[in-house]
Amino acid sequence: MSYVVLTVADHERNGFIALARWPTMSEVDARAFIQAADDAVTEESEPDIKTASFTFVLDLMELNGDCIDTGKKCLPTQIAMKLAPDQVRQWLDERPDPDSVMHRPVPTLSKSGA
């Protein structure tokens, strides 16, 4: 069993923050969830990790918390907002230092959205 996490990489503050997670599902279902989000990203809309202030990605996690894979594309803010609007909006409003929020609980969302 696995779960999916929406992670933001803050390139200006050199850190990562888990913003939201989706319930436990089979690895096949988790990979399909990530693939659906990746498929929505066009070449023109994908943020450039070298120049963007921040980027979003979906991570595939094992139940023990180990990351076993990530989405193949960086998600534009619009897609991240579709997946987890409240969490992305809060992060954009706060832009907290990643180290200061690493122990915050990560909200679990329903699987609709990808």
pLDDT, tens only, 85-104? 999 999 999 999 999 998 89
pLDDT digits (tens, 9 = 90+) for 6-38: 999 999 999 999 999 998 999 999 999 999 999
pTM of the model: 0.93
- SS3 label, residue 108: strand
What percentage of the chain has pLDDT greater than the value 90? 93
Q: Which two tokens stand for residue 57?
A: 């990605």
Contact (Cβ atoms closer than 8 angstroms) between residue 60 and residue 31 = yes
Tally Cβ neighbours within 10 Å of residue 113: 16
Contact (Cβ atoms closer than 8 angstroms) between residue 2 and residue 9 = no
Parse the chain into domains and list their residue ranges: 2-100
Give the DSSP H/E element, type plus range, for residue 80.
helix 77-83
